[in-house]
Structure 1
Amino acid sequence: MSLGSRRYATALLEIAKENNILDEMYQELEMVVGELTKEKKMWQLMTSAQVQKEEKEEILQKIFEKRIHNFLYSFLMVLLKKNRFFELELIFLAFKESYLSEKNILEASVLSAIKLTDEHMQKVQEQLEKRTRKKVIIKNIIEESILGGLVIYIGEQVIDGSVRNQLNVLRSNLQNIGLEETEVIK
């Protein structure tokens, strides 16, 4: 992430905090980035040096002026004027990181071989919140190669309770004591 992206994100975050619209700003910025990037042609148009700034301003005005807070709309116009609109996705990622930190929230990816039930997801979430003392938002990702168990990515931490990892540890332990690999643990 570029230093410029972080600076823009920090400026927007400070404006949102000062005006007590932090949650609104996050939701609206997420929506804007989502809408502009879901259509590849739209994103290419908005980030192309070949398209005039006036045309880009007109597009933003038609799509967002009445749907988002004036501060965010003005911020988007500043990015256009400063030829920094191409950094919008990175700005959002930096904003999101700061927003989640400000709100004492962590995001976690929970890999499992099969889709977890809502009950299992809630139990995992409760355990992670207890362990981190923060609110945790979890996302379940299906990864059949882990065979069973869970692999959890939360912040900089990885908790690997997968069957695949347990087999790898077993294989390593057996090799360390000099046993030959067998077909069972290959």
Structure 2
Amino acid sequence: MAMAARARSSVDGFTKALVYGSLSTQRSHVSRAIICPNFPNPEQSRNFASPSASKEPKIKVPVAMFGGSGNYASALYIAAAKANALDKVESELLDFVSATTKASTFSQFMKDLAVPADIRVKAINEICGQAKFLDVTKNFLVVLADNGRLRHVDTIAKRFSDLTMAHRGEVKAVVTSVIPLPAAEEKELKDTLQEILGKGKTVKLEQKIDPSILGGLVVEFGQKVFDMSIKTRARQMERFLRDPINFDA
């Protein structure tokens, strides 16, 4: 994707600037209109894209989230929804996370709280400008940079994706197995879960590989976990064999 390539290129360019020390320490001017440090109430967060209109519709997050990352994700959801750019912002945020995880120098830069806030803000402005991100995305990342929260951007991005999936009526099902499921079995499992959901919802299947379960499947679906792994069955059998036998029963 062109946007993902631009994000990687801009991060790589900034990494070179870090290595060769070409970043200026001059303070970047960040408007208070985009600074929202703690987001105590997502419904009252400021719009990252532009000043709010007098009669703009009230936006509600589809899933209640808590904690620092949940508050940031909720605030971004409201801003992106007001700008009618949920999918675009999600794509840009995930591209940013993907690009930064592949650049170890920049990852260290994001996690280092000893780096002055003005340096972080300047870096994000340059990266987002080169990647041609929307103002909503850029301003949000500037907020994270200014508040020392860039090290949590991957967690925030995941929670933001949870909100956009809920908005689209998608439900994520995580299937853990020892080896990747064959296409036919994956389709059968997805169809079964889709029947459970019914109309109006769409299953998004995600596969994870974990040899420690020894065999079988573990399916995390909504708030439920269906553990059909050999490891769990072996533990259950072990507990059964250790239980005392009552011959009088």
- Give TM-score scaled by structure 2 length: 0.61
CA RMSD of aligned residues (A): 2.6
**Residues 91-106 of structure 1: pairs in structure 2 closer than 5 A:** 91-106=156-171
**Post-superposition offset of 1:77:** 1.5
* CA gap 1:63/1:143 in 2 versus in 1, 3 angstroms: same
- What's 1:57 paired with? 121
Give the aligned partner of residue 139 of structure 2: 74
- In structure 2, the partner of 1:155 is 222
Distance 1:43 1:103 in 2: 31
Q: 1:77 to 1:144 in 2, by over 3 A?
A: closer
Q: What is the match of residue 184 of structure 2?
A: 119
Task: Report the CA distance between 1:73 and its aligned residue.
Answer: 0.5
Letter in 2 for 1:70: D
Deviations 1:91-113 (A, max 9, x none): 22331222222222222221223
CA apart distance, 1:176: 4.6
> Residue 135 of structure 1 corresponds to which residue in structure 2?
202
Q: Count how many residue pairs are aligned between Structure 1 and Structure 2.
A: 179
The structure-2 alpha-carbon separation of the partners of 1:52 and 1:155, relative to structure 1 and needing over 3 Å to count, comes to same
Give the one of 78, 82, 85 matched to 1:21.
85
Cross-structure match for 1:109: 174
State how far apart, in whole Å, the 1-side matches of 2:110 and 2:212 are.
39
Displacement of 1:170 in angstroms is 4.2
Instruction: Please give the alpha-carbon distance, in whole angstroms, between the structure 2 residues aligned to 1:114 and 1:32.
Output: 30
Runs of 5+ consecutive residues of structure 1 not aligned to the other structure = 180-186
Distance 2:115 2:167 in 1: 37
Contact 2:110 2:150 in 1 (8 A): yes
SS in 1 for 2:148: coil
Q: Extract unaligned runs of 5+ from structure 2.
A: 1-64
Q: How many Å separate the matches in 2 of 1:169 and 1:48?
A: 45
Which structure features the higher share of helix residues?
A: 1
